[in-house]
Structure 1
């Protein structure tokens, strides 16, 4: 394909990671494409010209978003202006639904086809959004096998491409190799702490996880604690938290998968990291906390029994989940203790995690998504979409 202009929007760290893989595959197949939009450092490295950095927008929680509203509104106005003035051939939206569904409507009204990669989890909460997806999205590329049928039954042109997490060679890193890279000598157990990829998640989760680790260290004097900080998180904030809690731990940044592979057990904030751990095969305890009002609103809207992605994919409790008021150091330690003490318990969870990994499908999701996107560009806007817009 010669030429062509794409607007792509990914407003969160996981979206930046997955979108970067798709952009790489797009430019490998169509090097002359111009791709611009909103994303993070990985998308920039993949070849996207950023108009807004995703780090200025990413937030979790219905209440927490209020502090970012001015920046989000400026970004939205900038993207709608870009649509009117530049008229790209296609818009790719990645997750980030509250922002992206509005942008989908704006693009659709201008006659610009929209491909949505990693769509909103309407099967879990706020099901009314599916009407917007059916009306404004040309093609929805889904990453969980059950999603294709779910969306198609509700009038959405959905295509299952697989999970992009499998495009990274996570499962090939052994515990021994990961510990060698991290300079962890000996056989003493390792506990990994993954508090989340956003500053808000870090401040809510890290103190609780450190208190849990401190409790477990009194019971296991040889326990080694590793903190996996996501790229962009302030290390001075982590250092201050360590000092305040009086816990000895090593901190790494941008090496989450190595920490997972090196650990006997991880305490992890709910999110993409839980699926990464499943692919690697690391036993875990899942935690999550929000501001109270955000939790209360979400609690009323969520329609699924779990929030951890590994449990949602398995459709049963594989890893313990401790959410909001249940996420206390004592409760977390009570769930972690048997897994630390018993190799049999850890191996049982590893076997269940392998089943989850198998459900995610084969590698190559980024390439399949790129092919579907290019097909959409070649085919243009279908007649039925034009009728809907009219």
Structure 2
């Protein structure tokens, strides 16, 4: 007996995101798909953003957001329960499409189940196979029907290995917009327009803050030592970081010695207003690049993890996406023992006071911004999703 495809009002999409950035990008994709068909139903795994977009959450991704072998082992029960829940759902309520967002160690298990059940799979935001475990390209390509990548060099990376993927542009281009004009931001925070603004951005995880903020604040003190009235230092506080964490890692000691401002909202306006910044490695570096803010990238992890990383990742010249996309050292990178107050101070002064260095950096950031594509990643990915849905309809109703 021929299986009948559910009507538009009955079509269900399962979407799975395991990290905060994937939760955000997934939510934007859900909205883009609902703009085309308001009757679609979504379920799966995610956190606040996907839930607010109307996705029925069977597994809370915030319980699985762990880093490091020890943390993974301590949360293994949650991870296995989440995987079992989603696989059982695929068996009992077969979705018309499975959308996976990054998070490869978890998502590839779901892709394998979907393959057995003939459920089409769209992998949105490919895992970083270009950094390590490149052999995964074969597995990902075998278990998925379409792959949507967001970094320009990923399309060529897959092509060199014989696989065709879709470059949809970076979704940050849709979300990274200053909430206020620079003048409005300065006025709201009572900052003298004559001051130079430097962003100190230690990250959104407690471990990052502990590893980086003391050095960032010490560098700020060095910057302001000779010109105490020249600089204002801005620290965006992520919702995942309590104020006491900042205080315990240097803020309380420096708070009355520097013009320091903690910014709890309007973070993109803050970044855009900065003359320069020092930031932890990660997505924030791309945000700063999109906003055109010259930045010093800093990365410091445990020595054990660093040595293991060196063994696994030997071929990359840079660790920041800004420089990887640009193909050269557009922004300075400080890694491990190089993350010192002295080096941070030296690099910040170069970005602010060396006119030729600053001009070259700004030009490089503009180039990276251009290579990221054009806004509309969610809409382009939604179009791919509907192509898969259409193909499924044709197969089931020839």
The alignment's TM-score, normalised by the length of structure 2, stands at 0.88
1:325 aligns with 2:332: no
- Report the alpha carbon displacement of residue 320 of structure 1 after superposing the two structures with TM: 0.6
SS of structure 2 residue aligned to 1:99: helix
1:308 aligns with 2:336: no
> Structure 1, unaligned stretches of length 5 or more?
384-390
1:204–1:382 distance in 2 versus 1, CA, 3 Å: farther
1:375 aligns with 2:387: yes
| Aligned residues of 1:37 and 1:48 also touching (Cα < 8 A) | yes
Aligned length, in residue pairs: 383
Deviations 1:235-286 (A, max 9, x none): 3322333445434522222432122111111111111111111111000000
- Report the alpha carbon displacement of residue 109 of structure 1 after superposing the two structures with TM: 2.5
> Structure 2, unaligned stretches of length 5 or more?
1-7
Equivalent in 74, 82, 85 of residue 89 of structure 2: 82
| Aligned residues of 1:140 and 1:156 also touching (Cα < 8 A) | no
| Aligned residues of 2:236 and 2:267 also touching (Cα < 8 A) | yes
- Report the alpha carbon displacement of residue 20 of structure 1 after superposing the two structures with TM: 1.7
Partner of 2:290: 279
Deviations 1:84-106 (A, max 9, x none): 22221111111122222222223
Equivalent in 370, 380, 383 of residue 358 of structure 1: 370
Alignment of 1:97-108 (within 5 A): 97-108=104-115
Partner of 1:386: none
1:60–1:306 distance in 2 versus 1, CA, 3 Å: farther
- Report the alpha carbon displacement of residue 291 of structure 1 after superposing the two structures with TM: 2.2
1:236–1:318 distance in 2 versus 1, CA, 3 Å: same
Q: Distance in 2 between matches of 1:48 and 1:59?
A: 22
| Aligned residues of 1:211 and 1:245 also touching (Cα < 8 A) | no
- Report the alpha carbon displacement of residue 190 of structure 1 after superposing the two structures with TM: 1.1
Runs of 4 or more, structure 1, over 4 Å off, are: 61-64, 171-174
- Report the alpha carbon displacement of residue 65 of structure 1 after superposing the two structures with TM: 3.5
- Report the alpha carbon displacement of residue 132 of structure 1 after superposing the two structures with TM: 1.3
Compute the RMSD of aligned alpha carbons. 2.4
The alignment's TM-score, normalised by the length of structure 1, stands at 0.90
1:322–1:137 distance in 2 versus 1, CA, 3 Å: same
- Report the alpha carbon displacement of residue 322 of structure 1 after superposing the two structures with TM: 0.9
Q: Distance in 1 between matches of 2:202 and 2:312?
A: 24
Equivalent in 140, 143, 155 of residue 150 of structure 2: 143
Greater Cα shift, 158-167 or 36-45: 36-45
Q: Distance in 2 between matches of 1:63 and 1:220?
A: 45
Greater Cα shift, 96-105 or 257-266: 96-105
